[in-house]
Amino acid sequence: MLDIIDKVLLKAVANLDDIPKLGAYNIRRNGKGISRQSTKNIQIVPKTDQPGIDINVAPGTKGEQVHIPVILSAEGMTDIVYNTFNIGDNADVVIVAGCGIHNACDADAGHNGIHEFFIGKNARVKYVEKHFGEGSGRGKRILNPTTKVHMEENSQVEMEMVQIAGVDDTIRDTDVDLADGARLIVTERLMTEGVQSAESIIKVNLNGKDSSARIMSRSVAKNNSKQHFHMNLIGKNECRGHIQCDSIIMDQAQVSSAPMVTAEHSDAQLIHEAAIGKIAGDQLLKLMSLGLSEEAAEDTILKGFLK
């Protein structure tokens, strides 16, 4: 059912060699769901009013994974999908999303994934989202994900968002609100090259008492690419938040980083850090003094940084 291009994309975004035999999954190709499987605890139901699915995880579900990759290889197609995740109380699951685009033509191809999460009390979710583009066409590969997360008391969400190759234009918009005791960790890894452009907007509302958020963003901008980061932690209660944005800039690239913290409560403890700089000369010298060529040293530094 999957051709070789589909398999390359699937491997890149979901680390799957083929359609999985076990577990819950939904594979969407060129705007249509082509394969779907629910389990006893994780039901995947197509929406009736708009494109997309509801992923319903039963309360107390432990140790299960859901794969929902999107692959796009049709010429000049823009796909919009609305997915809703309802995570029951006390569940503990891993969700692997992501989108791979192969564009071999001159028209633009794009995917707008609009995801909304409702995380139940004491639930734990690890969400992994990988974006990948390839293909020789002059048309752009565009990915614009929108992610909204609503976290109930004492829930925990760990988001790992990675885009390190082949996406020409991206605007990532992430909005999270946290109730009492909820804990959020966001790890973002981004690389742009050529004339690519990437923008990441992350807004976190720390509404609950003892809620906490940590956002760690690392990016590499090469050639003439451009990156913009807008992060805002809003503390509305006794809470803790930390934003850490690090970018390596190379060639003629441009990076702007605007971490922002907003306290609306006197017991909010919020920190932001942002750093942009090129690879330090002594890092290259150290690795070269271990026998690596300059190119291999640079590659090692970048791979480590984006790990």
277 is an interface residue for other proteins by CB under 8 A: no
| 250 contacts other proteins (rule: CB under 8 A) | no
Residue among 68, 176, 63, 72 nearest 117 (CA): 176
* 47, 254, 290, 299: residue in contact with other proteins (rule CB under 8 A): 290
Question: Which amino acid is it at 8?
Answer: V
Q: Which is nearer to other proteins, 10 or 255 (CB)?
A: 255
Are 19 and 67 in contact by the 8 Å Cβ rule? The answer is no
The answer to whether residue 283 forms part of the interface with other proteins (CB under 8 A) is yes
Helices (H), the chain: 4-14, 281-288, 294-305
In this structure, what token pair is assigned to residue 11?
Answer: 């491997």
- Decide whether 187 or 262 has the Cβ nearer to other proteins: 187
162 sits in which H/E element: strand 156-165
Tell me whether residue 2 or residue 287 sits nearer to other proteins (CB atom): 287
Contact call for residue 301 and other proteins (CB under 8 A): yes
Beta-carbon neighbour count of residue 4 at 10 Å?
A: 7
Closest separation in Å from C-beta 294 to other proteins: 7
> CA 199, CA 281: separation in Å to the nearest integer?
28
Asked if 271 touches other proteins (CB under 8 A), the answer is no
The DSSP H or E segment spanning 264 is: none
Site string for other proteins, 191-230 (x = CB under 8 A): ---------------------------x------------
Using the rule CB under 8 A, is 292 a contact of other proteins?
yes
What residues line the site for other proteins (CB under 8 A)? 218, 246, 280, 282-283, 285-294, 300-301, 303-307
